[in-house]
A and B are shown apart, each in its own frame.
Chain A
Amino acid sequence: MREITCTPFKGVEVEGLSKSFSLENNRVQALSDITITVERGSFVSIVGYSGCGKTTLLNTVLGLQEPDCGHVRFTGMRGRTAIVFQEPRLVSALTVEKNMALALTHEPDTRKKQRKIDEVLEMLGLTAFRKARPCQLSGGMAQRVALGRALCREPELLLMDEPFGSLDALNRGYLQSELIEIYRKKKITILFVTHDVSEAVLLGNRVLVMEAGSISRDIPIDLEYPRNRSSSDFLSLRDGVLNSILNSNLLCKE
């Protein structure tokens, strides 16, 4: 259940969120009693093994799935969200520009709509491709359009579900830098799901480690942007996150 309230705290509060699915007569607990607070303007990375409930958490925060219990509360925010999925999910019949315009379907002012699209195209370096169709774009380019579509909504909370997971290393690096730039410029609250620990530490100012449907660690990342992947601070933080994932997995196995 999603709520919008006004209190001194500004951000997203997830409280006691649980969700289970039935799979071949078995009950699978995807989320169990998750409670987190995400301050407005923060960048939170969520890491964990495949199937630990990261995507279910995002879908529930987004409202795509109803939780069994618990709720998501937006305080001091209008609750405007957008998501970038692992695959771009572009409508093949529509141009780049029109795919982005889908996010502004309810904007009655056509001039304002066009201005917003132009601004996002410019920001993501897609102006020259505005009339291109998805089949004419590379994987990285298509994912940039998906990011642009999400940004057109001017979200207060941007959810990203392994958005760079299927890209090659060069494109991934390029988009990571772009995302940091956008985050620093727009100060959007971001929940970023990834299975890449380096990426989680590179982007987030907080890393949540997920294990079997719950948050096992909450690690603050106090490093300035842009971050240097080879600095000792970065490497020690990355190793710390990696160890906590490995340890929690070992504990589970025991």
Chain B
Amino acid sequence: MRALKQLLLPVFIISIYLVVCRFDLVSSYLVPRPQKIAGALLLMLRDGSLAHHIAVSFQRVGKGFLITTGVAVPLALLFYFIPPISRYFLGSLHFLRSIPPLAMVPLLILWFGIGEASKLAIIILASFFPVFLNTLSGLQQVDPKLLEMGRTLELGRGEQIINILLPESLPTVLTGLRLAFGYSWRALIGAEMIAASSGLGYMILDAEELARTDKVYIGILTIGTLGLLLDIVSMKYLQWKFPWMKSEAS
């Protein structure tokens, strides 16, 4: 029933789209006809170009996401265990957080050139703060009484991190990772605007320059669909792997 309710809005939009196309209410350049989009999609699936763009984009998001996690999680642990650090750096981090990653594009091109590095930097900038702030807040929310209990069991610092802090903060950390993945995916288009020759963002911009609105639609729908599927798959995986956080994560 819940799934049906969620389908109502897409079905409504598709119905309007079909009506607009059927009665030629809007120019076919602005809103391409379904058969044109389907034809282009089949062609792109057959020649493998869509799969190639998807693979390239995935690779970029994956790399950026891994670097973000590798930096943000240990940094949050450092901030948690050495609170004076927050006093020196948290203000600057909040300043950086309010800058949209796309505003950094000109500088990133100057610093890293037009290669992969600048694209990765945008993805990292977009995904860093959700991971860092959620991890820090997850750690800070762990009940100090649990740590006291750990001390009575003579658990060392490392044992407390592994057995109490990380498992207890996991739901919040995973929510941060999930958010970050969504942000990375969205930042991708901006990243691929920087002189890319492949990827879904490039595909959309290239289609725009060639006046192929059908391909623009395919690119947008692909990004949305993949984002949604990834979210559902990651959610299902987390619920299977960590059943106790079912209610919190959903």
Q: Which residues of A are in contact with B by a Cβ distance under 8 Å? A: 62, 64, 81-83, 85, 87, 89, 91-94, 102-103, 105-106, 133-135, 149, 153
How many angstroms between the C-alpha atoms of A157 and B149 in the bound complex? 16
Residues of A within 8 A of B145 (CB): 85, 87, 89
Q: What are 26 A-B pairs at a CB distance below 8 A?
A: A62-B152, A64-B151, A81-B152, A85-B145, A87-B145, A89-B149, A91-B163, A91-B167, A92-B244, A93-B167, A93-B242, A93-B244, A93-B245, A94-B163, A94-B167, A102-B153, A102-B155, A102-B163, A103-B153, A105-B153, A105-B154, A105-B163, A106-B154, A133-B243, A135-B244, A153-B153
CB-CB under 8 A from B244, the residues of chain A are 92-93, 133-135
Number of A-B contacts (CB under 8 A): 49
**Is the Cβ of B159 less than 8 Å from the Cβ of A105?**
yes
Does the CB pair B154–A85 fall under 8 Å? no
Sample of 20 further A-B pairs with CB below 8 A, known A102-B150, A133-B243: A82-B152, A82-B153, A83-B152, A85-B145, A87-B145, A89-B145, A89-B149, A92-B168, A92-B244, A93-B167, A93-B168, A93-B170, A93-B245, A102-B163, A105-B153, A105-B154, A105-B159, A105-B163, A134-B244, A135-B244
- In chain A, what residue has the closest Cβ to B246? A135
| A92 to B143 CA separation, bound complex (whole angstroms) | 11
Tell me if B146 is interfacial: C-beta within 8 Å of chain A.
yes
CB interface residues, B 139-166, toward A, < 8 Å: 143, 145-146, 148-155, 159, 163-164
- Name A's interface SS: loop
Chain A residue with the shortest CB-CB distance to B155: A105
> Interface on B for A, CB 8 Å cutoff?
143, 145-146, 148-155, 159, 163-164, 167-168, 170, 242-245
Q: Do residues A64 and B167 form an inter-chain contact, with CB atoms below 8 A? A: no
Q: Are B153 and A91 in contact (CB under 8 A)?
A: no
The 10 closest A-B pairs by CB, nearest first: A93-B167, A89-B149, A133-B244, A83-B152, A103-B153, A89-B145, A102-B153, A105-B159, A91-B164, A89-B146
What is the distance, in angstroms, from B142's C-beta to the closest C-beta of chain A? 10
Closest residue of chain B to A87 (Cβ to Cβ) is: B145
Nearest chain-A residue to B143 (Cβ)?
A89
Residues of A within 8 A of B167 (CB): 91-94
Q: Which residue of B lies closest to A89 (CB)?
A: B149
- Whether the Cβ atoms of A64 and B159 lie closer than 8 Å is no
Bound-state CA distance A184–B153 (Å) is 24
User: Closest residue to A146 on the B side, CB-wise?
Assistant: B149
Cα distance, A5 to B26, chains bound together (Å): 93
The docked-state distance in angstroms from the alpha carbon of A85 to that of B144 is 13
Min Cβ gap A142→B in Å is 13
Chain A residues contacting B163 (CB-CB under 8 Å) are 91, 94, 102, 105
In the complex, the chain B residue whose C-beta lies closest to that of A98 is B163
